[in-house]
């Protein structure tokens, strides 16, 4: 499988890839405020790249449960200096984590390659056009509601079927609007408008979540459902369980993984791939 991103191709046929998370926010659930200065952010990005990240995902607005939106201007102010600086020194893939078309457009002009939209390109009516015009890679995530209210008693008839139906609708809508099918990637949105039971149901059925022929990105890193299982209250204490889930997901064919701690997850992927290949 190939994921086309601008004039590049990310080969997903043999080796899985890791997307390293770089939060430029004071209130993200795991590392809010740790990397909100340019030098600290660049240092962390370099570390993740050295540890094997293929993509750096830069976000300026927290999407943790209960988070309230910020202005596009503030989001741009937080993220653009990092994208500009990282692009000058690194030729790898940069993703902007945003629901706002103005932020996505500014990021793409600054050198980003991918738009990662947790609303699945539904929050901002201009986002589809920005992505279509740029030919960037697009990550379409499923979220029930908004970050502010998504965990207020989410309900589904069939969470796996409902998420897949949303993805299929997005394929139809987005391709008709001019986004090439080969530029799309999907994310089931673990923890975004899902109960513990919903999250586990999705993880049990990973093979059937993405529309046929499309790549799936999995983002489970340090999330609260892991803490409920393991008893780890602090997000950083959930890294070992995250690594285990990364390996399990790779055994089920998932080739893109969004994580905070890169080194351990890359190692888990390589071990899983050795088992799968027999070498």
Q: Which of 100, 183, 250, 258 is catalytic?
A: 258
Q: pTM for the complete prediction?
A: 0.92
pLDDT in tens, 230-241: 999 999 999 999
pLDDT at 149: 64
Q: What is the DSSP string of 187-251?
A: E--TTSS--HHHHHHHHHTGGGTSPTT--BEE--TT-HHHHHHH---SGGGGHHHHHHHHHHHHH
Rounded CA-CA distance 155/13 in Å is: 35
Beta-carbon contacts of residue 109 (< 8 Å; ≥ 6 apart): none
pLDDT at 278: 72
User: 204 an active-site residue?
Assistant: no
Determine whether 105 is an active site residue: no
CB of 211 closer than 8 Å to CB of 167: yes
Domains delineated in the chain: 15-265 (3.20.20.20)
pLDDT of residue 29: 47
d(CA 104, CA 132): 12
In this prediction, residue 148 has a pLDDT band, given cuts at 50, 70 and 90, of low
Average pLDDT over residues 259-276: 97
Q: How far is CA 190 from CA 35, 110, 162, 202, 219, in A?
A: 24, 29, 14, 8, 7
What single DSSP character describes residue 68? P
Q: What is the pLDDT of residues 20-40, one digit of tens each?
A: 999 998 755 445 445 568 999
Residue 31: what pLDDT?
53
Q: Per-residue pLDDT averaged across 101-114, rounded?
A: 98
Is beta strand 8-11 parallel, antiparallel or unpaired with respect to 17-23? unpaired
Residue of 194, 223, 238, 250 marked active site: 223
């Amino acid at each position: 499988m190939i994921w086309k991103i601008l004039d590049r191709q990310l080969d997903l046929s043999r080796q899985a890839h890791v997307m390293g998370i770089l939060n430029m926010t004071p209130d993200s659930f795991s590392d809010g405020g740790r990397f909100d200065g340019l030098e600290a952010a660049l240092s962390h990005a370099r570390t993740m790249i050295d540890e094997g990240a293929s993509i750096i995902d830069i976000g300026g607005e927290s999407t943790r449960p209960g988070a309230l939106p910020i202005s596009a201007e503030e989001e741009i102010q937080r993220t653009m200096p990092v994208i500009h600086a990282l692009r000058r020194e690194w030729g790898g893939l940069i993703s902007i984590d945003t629901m706002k078309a103005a932020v996505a457009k500014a990021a793409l002009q600054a050198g980003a390659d991918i738009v990662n939209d947790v609303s699945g390109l539904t929050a901002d009516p201009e986002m589809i056009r920005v992505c279509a015009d740029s030919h960037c890679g697009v990550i379409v995530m499923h979220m029930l509601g908004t970050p502010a209210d998504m965990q207020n008693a989410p309900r589904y008839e069939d969470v796996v079927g409902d998420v897949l139906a949303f993805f299929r609708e997005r394929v139809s809508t987005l391709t008709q609007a001019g986004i090439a099918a080969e530029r799309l990637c999907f994310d089931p949105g673990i923890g975004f408008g899902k109960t513990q039971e919903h999250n586990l149901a999705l993880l049990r059925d990973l093979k059937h979540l993405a529309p046929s022929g499309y790549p799936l990105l999995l983002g489970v890193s340090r999330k609260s459902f892991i803490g409920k299982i393991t008893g780890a209250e602090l997000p950083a204490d959930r890294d070992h369980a995250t690594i285990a889930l990364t390996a399990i997901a790779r055994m089920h064919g998932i080739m893109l993984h969004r994580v905070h701690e890169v080194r351990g997850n890359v190692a888990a992927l390589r071990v899983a791939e050795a088992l799968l290949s027999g070498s």
